[in-house]
Amino acid sequence: MLALAWSAALLAASAPVMASILGRQPEIPASCAGLPQGSLGSLSYNFTLSAYNLDKPNANSTGVPLVLALGPPGTSAAASEWVIATQKTAGSDDWPYWTMVNGVLTPQPGPNEQGLGAYASTVDQGDVPAFIVTIAESDPNPADIYCGADESDEYLVLSVNNNPDGFSLCTATDDYDQNVVVYEAEQSNSAYSYDTCYAVHIYIVPYTA
């Protein structure tokens, strides 16, 4: 009888604690705020990016492969600006896969780029999302603005500034003539030809070597 009373008291005392544990939700990073449940700011796997056309039929389930590509000429001898472009127009893929930790999207260097780091810049409306490539830093400060949004597709959809629906592919107006990723394309931006833009979702596709 005494044991039964102790058990009842123990259950009563632990009930609020159990309810608190069961009701606790994983912390949502700021870069994923407002996105569907299941969206992630940190991914446990390496991945590639692919642009899925939202206006016309696609040749496959993932769309067009994307890679980190050298962007417009800069003014610094120590660093260069790189962009996300279609693999076909980039011409090479020296950064074969990506990672994401705490909202930071990071291209990973291949054998030809060892010792370098690529760090995400902030992205505003009309921008071509850019990464600054320089000597790898021990304490970089990249923009933590990305998320893998769970849009109920086969793959997570890349989001920036809490928006997975703002990306387009556009033809750049510089000498490289690349098809580049643009965020919320604007007609007034001279970095790309607005009339060539079409809306895409950027799929996060698990990397297989």
DSSP letter assigned to residue 38: T
**Taking all residues of the chain, what is their mean pLDDT, rounded to a whole number?**
86
For residues 76 and 151, which has the higher predicted lDDT (pLDDT)?
151
Instruction: Please check the confidence at residue 27 and state whether its pLDDT lies above 70.
Output: no
pLDDT of residue 103: 97
Query: Could you tell me if residue 46 is inside a domain?
Result: yes
Q: Is a pLDDT exceeding 60 seen at residue 5?
A: no
17 found inside a domain: no
Contacts of 189 (CB under 8 A, 6+ apart): 126, 127, 182
Within-domain flag for 13: no
Q: Is a pLDDT exceeding 90 seen at residue 119?
A: yes
pLDDT score recorded for residue 71: 83
The DSSP H or E segment spanning 5 is helix 2-23
- Quick check: 126 and 189 in contact, CB under 8 A? yes
Q: How many domains does the chain have?
A: 1
The answer to whether residue 15 scores a pLDDT higher than 90 is no
Average pLDDT score over residue span 64-87: 83
Lowest mean pLDDT: which of 22-26, 162-166, 175-179, 188-192? 22-26
Residue 1 lies in a domain: no
Q: Say if 21 falls within a structural domain.
A: no
Q: Which domain holds residue 116?
A: 29-206
Cβ proximity of 100 and 42 under 8 Å: yes
Residue 183 placed within a domain: yes
- Asked if residue 176 belongs to a domain, the reply is yes
Q: Is the pLDDT of residue 25 over 50?
A: no
Q: Is residue 1 pLDDT above 70, yes or no?
A: no
Q: Is residue 163 part of a domain?
A: yes
Nearest-10 Cα torsion for 164, 165, 166, 169: 100
